[in-house]
Amino acid sequence: MYKRSKRSTLAALAVTALLIAGCSSNPHAIEPNPLPDFEAEFKVDRLWSRNVGDGIDDAWLRLQPAVTHRGVYAADLNGTVEGLDTERGRRLWRVRGDDRISGGLQAGYGMVAYGTREGDVVTLSEDNGEELWRTRLSSEVLAAPAMSAALVVAQTIDGQVVALDAQTGSERWRFDNPVPILILRGSATPSIVGDRVYVAFANGRVAALDVDNGVPVWERRVAEPTGRSELERLVDISNNLIVEGGGVFTGTFQGSVAVLDQEGGRPYWTKEMSTYGQMASALGTLFVADSTGHVWAIDQRNGTTLWKQDLLYGRGLTGVSVQRGQIVVGDAEGYLHWMDAATGKITARTRHHRKGFAAAPVVRDDIAYVYGREGRLAAYRLETRN
């Protein structure tokens, strides 16, 4: 029988071990590179900055904001959710609830959705923040739900994928997957593409489920656990899935980056790598920040390395996004770094906040939206230097 307290403790232990590995007092810690020198090719223009609640404090959470054509939506871990105008950051509405929010936001189809530590999936009106419905699941929800016009799909920390009716919150179907003893404190957001829901799990498996009934179309393991200890055998998939061009791209902690055939799950290629942050893609290239702080550009067709940027080694990177042909990534000291997508050369930098980031940047219409650990939400634009 699943016990939330035990699972939460085990998950926290895994994360604690990872954080200890980066601590300067640990003799086995990675020594971070200093801020690299570079020749700026872009000016970073902060369009606006607003405080949204208390951020995530010292919690290990990814409270990524959601952005639509109607606004940008952000939340803190204590239940504050805000909708803001994308142009000036003007507050459109604010909800101050009692939820302990643990999963990042998803928005669209007139709704804003998030998950909680108690296992609730909650949807709010995109217009005014009014609660539309909430549904209690089996355990904590650590990733943003996926959303379509018909469904809201959430994954719980105990390995369940649950599809809820987008209008009522009633359960349509669920899929169970076994969870290892030790896991990272994070989950992969499901991806709804066509008639399938693509999901990834803490045991290194990826599955394609029928969107109507949750029946598996295919399942495939992309990383095999190795080592004697449970920590050594972690092969968690806690980043996003990218489904495009006939492939499903994924990455695992202490495992590999891999691509599977979208239709049948057949592996095309794998590349040994450890990653747990958001990946991005553009023009046939996959961009990945690995768990040591290297940033990679990988040919989506065959897994060939196009470039590798190692100047940010050990700096505790967020996941990556693509903005105006540049790769943007944050580090643990609160700096945002931009790199040329074709070469990996660093082209711009600014500091958001010294306490770092709650999640990877979100890019829409060439604007990067960034939420800091202390609760600061800001919008950044790149301007070419004359």
User: Which residues make Cβ contacts (< 8 Å) with residue 342, sequence separation at least 6?
Assistant: 325
Per DSSP, the three-state class of 25 is: coil
DSSP 180-243: -SS--S--PPPEEETTEEEEE-TTSEEEEEETTT--EEEEEE-----SSSTTTT-----S--EE
> pLDDT tens digits, the chain, 386 residues: what are they?
233 333 333 333 334 334 433 333 344 467 899 999 999 999 999 999 999 999 998 887 889 999 999 999 999 999 999 999 999 999 999 999 999 999 889 999 999 999 999 999 999 999 999 999 999 999 999 889 999 999 999 999 888 999 999 999 999 999 998 775 544 555 688 999 999 999 988 777 899 999 999 999 999 988 655 545 544 434 446 678 999 999 999 988 766 788 999 999 999 998 988 888 899 999 999 999 998 999 999 999 999 999 999 999 999 999 999 999 999 999 999 999 999 999 999 999 999 999 999 999 999 999 999 999 999 999 999 999 87
Token pair, residue 149, equals 């016009």
In b/e form, how buried is each residue of 134-149, taking b as 16+ CB within 10 angstroms? Answer: ebebbbbbbbbbbbee
In three state form, how does the secondary structure of 103-137 look? Answer: EEEEEECCEEEEEECCCEEEEEECCCCCEEEEEEC
Per the CB < 8 A criterion, the answer to whether 75 and 381 are in contact is no
- Nearest-angstrom CA–CA distance, 119 and 359: 21
Residue 342 domain flag: yes
Residue 314 domain flag: yes
Residue 283 domain flag: yes
To the nearest 10°, the Cα dihedral for 272, 180, 187, 325? 0
Which CATH number goes with the domain that contains 322? Answer: 2.130.10.10
- Nearest-angstrom CA–CA distance, 211 and 232: 34
Residue 367 domain flag: yes
Tell me the residue type at 1: M
Q: Of 68, 133, 57, 70, give the one whose Cα is nearest residue 105.
A: 68
Residue 95 domain flag: no
> How high is the pLDDT of residue 1?
28
Residue 84 domain flag: no
Q: Of 208, 200, 163, give the one whose Cα is nearest residue 184.
A: 200
Q: In the block, which residue shows the tokens 């996959």?
A: 286
> How high is the pLDDT of residue 187?
66
Residue 2 domain flag: no
Q: Which H/E stretch holds residue 10?
A: helix 4-21
Residue 306: domain span: 35-61+278-386
> How high is the pLDDT of residue 59?
81
Residue 327 domain flag: yes
> How many domains, in total, are found in the chain?
1
> How high is the pLDDT of residue 7?
39
- Nearest-angstrom CA–CA distance, 76 and 102: 9
- Whole-model pTM: value is 0.89
